[in-house]
Amino acid sequence: MTATADYTTDEAPVGQTRLYVLKGGSGPACLVLHGIEGHEGWLTFHAALARSALVLSPSHPGYGQTPAPEWITSVPHQAIFYHWYLQQAGLQQVDLVGVGLGGWIAATMAVMDSSRLRHLALVDAAGLRPTQGEMLDVFVTPWRQVIERGFLHGSEAPEYQHIYSAAPIQDFGGVREAGRTMSMRMCFKPYMHDPSLAGMLPKITTPTLVVWGEDDALIPIDCAHQYQRAIPGATLRTIDNCGHFAHLDQPERLAEVLQTFFSA
């Protein structure tokens, strides 16, 4: 384990794998699952959440920092892996936050077993097929364009400049290639959704908040309404002046929305 002023870096055993996790703050445990953008370190969003929570920010198996066991080939497999992590770590009553692809993983976890979950927050979540509009094809669009379109103002966004000036985006190869490859392995066909998920969402009993950037150019807001209608008692909040990567585009505002939800 290594430590900085704000967080520690840990490798938690999960089966035969060691999960790379950043931990910071104190309070109720909050597990934050990243999206297709990959794990970009300890973010402004994490620091804001950590003012009132113990934030756990792992890198998904196959996304660079955490090795991928051969058996992980799908989103449900990732969900099983993270349930295993909660079990191994002895974590109970966790606030679960999933962004984009991480939202799909989180929703699947809640369908499988809600007993360890205190709250569920789905932020611009993948997993459902839109009935209005289309999802951006992130596997044919140049990667720089995918990332830039995830922000309302593209490369002008402060967090974009903070992250990608230190580690510039490469369309092919580089430190993010493993994550792109794993995303394609799990989400290429059917593209970015599970045809069975919508029918299983009513099983969720965890208090749920769906959050969406009003200017999401990757996943239509129609999917937000589908999640809200399908999960019993779920509420929907939108964030204006915000793209798909709400945790990067409006980190402080998103953290405030989630903190209010978690403390209600």
Q: How many domains does the chain have?
A: 1
Q: What is the CATH number for 141?
A: 3.40.50.1820
Q: What is the pLDDT along the chain (264 residues), one digit of tens a residue?
A: 554 668 999 999 999 999 999 999 999 999 999 999 999 999 999 999 999 999 999 999 999 999 999 999 999 999 999 999 999 999 999 999 999 999 999 999 999 999 999 999 999 999 999 999 999 999 999 999 999 999 999 899 999 999 988 888 877 767 788 889 999 999 999 999 999 999 999 999 999 999 999 999 999 999 999 999 999 999 999 999 999 999 999 999 999 999 999 998
Q: How far is CA 236 from CA 58, 139, 165, 222, 224, in A?
A: 26, 28, 33, 12, 7
> Would you give the DSSP letter of residue 205?
-
According to DSSP, the β-strands at 8-14 and 17-24 are antiparallel
- Residue 66 domain boundaries: 2-263
CB 128 within 8 A of CB 119: no
Dihedrals phi, psi of 239, to nearest 5 degrees: -120, 120
Both tokens of 33, joined, read 């699952």
Sheet (strand 17-24) strand order: 2-3, 8-14, 17-24, 54-58, 29-33, 94-99, 117-123, 208-213, 235-239
- Quick count: other Cβ atoms within 10 Å of Cβ 215? 18
Both tokens of 260, joined, read 């209010």
